[in-house]
Amino acid sequence: MRPTAAPLVLATLLTATALTACGSGSGSDPDTVKISFKQSTDNSIRVMDTYLGQMKKEFEKANPGKKVELVPIKAPDSEYYTKLQQMLRSPKTAPDLVYEDTFLINSDITSGYLKPLDPYLDKWQDWGQFIDTAKAAAKAQDGKTYGVPDGTDTRGLWFDKDIFKKAGLPGDWQPKTWDDVLSAARAIKAKVPGVTPLNVYTGKPAGEAATMQGFEMLLYGTGDGKTDPLYDTATKKWIAGSQGFKDALTFVETVYKEKLGLDVADALDPNIQTRIRGELLPKGKLGIDLDGSWLPQDWLKGSGHEWPEWSQKLGLASMPTQHGQAPGKVSMSGGWTWSIPSKASNPDLAFKFIETMQTKANAQKWYIANSGIAVRKDVAADPAYVKAQPGIKFFTDLVASTHYRPAYPAYPKVSTAIQEAMEGVTTGDSSVEKAASGYDEALKTATDNQVIKK
């Protein structure tokens, strides 16, 4: 297994980084709004930086005397969440506005780190344009809303048409079952040397990408598509001991046992997502990638990994259900929200900045820039949005068959337990049975024993 840093040392380093990142705190100037966001670890990817820079100029021009200070946090996903939480704990380090992944927001709400936005939303006319599912992603069990979503996403299979041609596979490939996906990967391995047949994110270094792009895209395709395989809504308990969980682990095990995926060391590289988007796909070194709708943001003009030919080189296919059972395909959706910390000193100014970002024109600009899926109804209905980029229609259509993670405070810990189980079968340190059993035990701890066996 890969070594990890001592928890105390890591916590100390993260605290120091958080304090440095936010300087003297958000309340140092009542006319300045401080905004923290996740900055890509790849220096050539500055989609968010560019967009926020534009919003800063627009906001300052429209509000004379007011200033925007951007406070980027440059870190992989898992470290970003930790650093952000460190910052939110104190008025000295809390920004005025933060970028929250929907999978973590309920944990931060429960911890008291975020401010309910309902008093602002009730007076904001544009809030009626947001789709209900997107609104629900930032709503807590207390019925209050703690974030404004800036888009959603879906997931599917990206495939290299040239590699498929060499492997004798169809250019309009649309697999119907998991076996179809594995068969295509095996054909690539047999006929196209020097490339990786199939990428499935796995293990703790990949963080939520392993859980959501990898495991849950499998797990949510094992049942009837109507019931949640992770959380039982009737009993309000988390599900352990399911055959679907073991089947999903078996798929992951097969990919790495048969060497259809990346070398294990590469698969467990914390920067593997950047390598997939910036290197392996553009250079024709990856046959099939189970991944998200946002990939093209890395290939647009000025992105640092410009790849204007991507829409001709890559095909898109839906991820099938396990045996082709209805509804036949599966996707997962998440997204990010803009939230105001409970310890923010300038919350009114922060919401005013949200309003600037979320005009129809600015929201549409962002969806296109980051290859996101619109959560504003007026943007989704705009022909200019639909035609703005290849693939937008494909991924938007997947919303009809998508699933959302259980948005409860225990989820981040559950996600980590899933990653540990995946890593065990990826490295070969654990059998499927042992990894599934380990997950069941970790699930009890993560959820205070709120578990049901199925």
Quick one: 205 and 93 in the same domain? Answer: no
Q: Convert 353-382 to b/e letters by CB count within 10 Å (16 or more is b).
A: bbebbbeeebbbbbbbbbbbbbbbeebbeb
Quick one: 427 and 369 in the same domain? Answer: no
User: Which DSSP symbol is given to 139?
Assistant: B
Rounded to 5 degrees, φ, ψ at 354 are -60, -45
pLDDT at 14: 37
Q: How many domains, in total, are found in the chain?
A: 2
Beta bridge partners of 130: 376
Quick one: 419 and 348 in the same domain? Answer: no
Quick one: 247 and 171 in the same domain? Answer: yes
Q: Which helix (H) or strand (E) holds 104?
A: helix 102-110
The answer to whether position 118 is within a domain reads yes
**pLDDT for residue 367 is more than 50:** yes
The answer to whether position 376 is within a domain reads yes
- The domain that holds 196 is classified in CATH as 3.40.190.10
| Alpha carbon distance 72, 20 (integer Å) | 11
pLDDT band of residue 133 (cuts 50, 70, 90) is confident
Quick one: 373 and 316 in the same domain? Answer: no
- The angle, 0 to 180 degrees and rounded to 10, between the axes of the packed helices 178-191 and 243-257 is 10
Quick one: 257 and 325 in the same domain? Answer: yes
Quick one: 377 and 284 in the same domain? Answer: no
Q: Which helix (H) or strand (E) holds 452?
A: strand 451-453
Quick one: 172 and 298 in the same domain? Answer: yes
The answer to whether position 371 is within a domain reads yes
The answer to whether position 2 is within a domain reads no
pLDDT at 28: 67
Quick one: 266 and 415 in the same domain? Answer: yes
In terms of DSSP H, where are the helices of 229-346?
Answer: 243-257, 264-267, 272-275, 310-313
Quick one: 381 and 445 in the same domain? Answer: no
- The pTM of the full predicted model, rounded to 2 decimals, is 0.81
Supply the range of the domain harboring residue 274.
Answer: 155-333+408-453
**pLDDT for residue 53 is more than 70:** yes
The answer to whether position 279 is within a domain reads yes
The answer to whether position 82 is within a domain reads yes
The answer to whether the Cα torsion of 293, 269, 36, 6 is positive or negative is positive
The answer to whether position 415 is within a domain reads yes
Quick one: 94 and 137 in the same domain? Answer: yes
The answer to whether position 1 is within a domain reads no
Cβ neighbors of 206 (< 8 A, separation 6 or more) are: 214, 267, 268, 270, 272, 273, 419
CB 148 within 8 A of CB 338: yes
Quick one: 33 and 111 in the same domain? Answer: yes
The two three-digit tokens of residue 370, written as one number:
């980051």
Q: Which of 138-152, 171-185, 310-324 has the lowest mean pLDDT?
A: 138-152
